[in-house]
Amino acid sequence: MVTALHMGWRHVLFANWPIDPEILDAHLPSALSVDTYDGDAWLSVVPFTNVDVRPTWIPEGWGFPLPELNLRTYVTHDGHAGVYFFSLDAQGIFGVGGARLFHHLPYYYARCSLTEDDGDVRFESRRLHPGARPVHFEGTYGPSSPKLDVQAGSLEEFLTERYRYYTEAQDGSLRYAAIDHEPWSLYEADPTIESNTLFKANGFAHPETKPVHYYSPGVTTIASPNRRV
């Protein structure tokens, strides 16, 4: 049964690189358009942990944790802005299988860990999915500024306040889900990223542009069932 999902996203790093929109467009389904900010498209590496992942009809606290790492970009379809995921690596076998089967998302099984030490978050992930391209990520991050005052129309808003994701099913159909949560609490971040092979695994050269980083302690989220556009 496909149902709405409750998720708690915690200790989120948004590591964002501007790239040429034409490079990105070649990697997207034809039904989606690249969304740009000041002429730039963006690729974002996002490590975090899910807590209490569960269908909304299951009682609070009965869900499961799911550390996750994804590579995403920003798109539009018929005027609706959203996120498109190139890959999502996650710890849980059942969560990965369910997301692939019921939500048509490109999840891969990985060995992930997230630990906290004196305000710093340590995230490591190594993909173990049979037949998939290898991915290794290792980094440390946390807030490096006071809480940001995120303004409408700002880059911070563009890169984080997204309330829809799009995905392509195996039959080629475009699908989407609506995401509901409070606005992100954002801080600047200055992460130390020791290893990141997500770009190579998804067919991109590592961007030579200067990245922009944000940290959030997280939000609680409700995701609708995945629907055909």
Residues of the chain with pLDDT > 90, as a percent, come to: 76
Q: How far apart are CA 227 and CA 229, in angstroms?
A: 6
Per residue in 165-195, pLDDT tens?
Answer: 999 988 888 999 999 999 999 999 999 999 9
Taking residues 1-10, what's their average pLDDT?
Answer: 82
How many other CB atoms sit within 10 Å of the CB of residue 178?
Answer: 16
What confidence tier does 96 reach under pLDDT thresholds 50, 70, 90?
low
Stated pTM of the model: 0.94
Q: How far apart are CA 159 and CA 161, in angstroms?
A: 6
How many other CB atoms sit within 10 Å of the CB of residue 4?
Answer: 14
Q: What is the DSSP annotation of 76-89?
A: EETTEEEEEEEEEE
The domain total for the chain is: 1
Per residue in 77-95, pLDDT tens?
Answer: 999 999 999 999 998 766 6
Range of the domain at 199: 5-228
Tell me, what CATH number does 18's domain have? 2.40.400.10
Whole-number pLDDT of residue 2: 65
Q: How far apart are CA 143 and CA 125, in angstroms?
A: 21
**Which of 218, 209, 193 lies closest to 24 in space, CA to CA?**
209
Residue with tokens 């019921």: 102
Beta-carbon contacts of 58 under 8 Å, excluding residues fewer than 6 positions away, are 6
What confidence tier does 59 reach under pLDDT thresholds 50, 70, 90?
confident
Q: What is the DSSP annotation of 168-219?
A: E-TTS-EEEEEEE-PPPP-EEB--EEEEE-HHHHTT-PPP-SPPEEEEEEEE
**Averaged confidence pLDDT in the chain:** 92
Per residue in 144-157, pLDDT tens?
Answer: 999 999 999 999 99
Taking residues 38-63, what's their average pLDDT?
Answer: 88
Both tokens of 1, joined, read 């049964």
Burial label for 149, CB within 10 Å (0-12, 13-18, 19+), is: exposed
Whole-number pLDDT of residue 92: 72
What confidence tier does 63 reach under pLDDT thresholds 50, 70, 90?
low
H helices then E strands: how many in the chain?
Answer: 4, 14
Beta-carbon contacts of 107 under 8 Å, excluding residues fewer than 6 positions away, are 87, 88, 89, 90, 95, 96, 99, 100
**Which of 133, 104, 123 lies closest to 199 in space, CA to CA?**
133
What confidence tier does 217 reach under pLDDT thresholds 50, 70, 90?
very high
Does position 1 have pLDDT exceeding 60, yes or no?
A: no
- Helix ranges, the chain (H): 21-25, 93-103, 155-160, 198-201
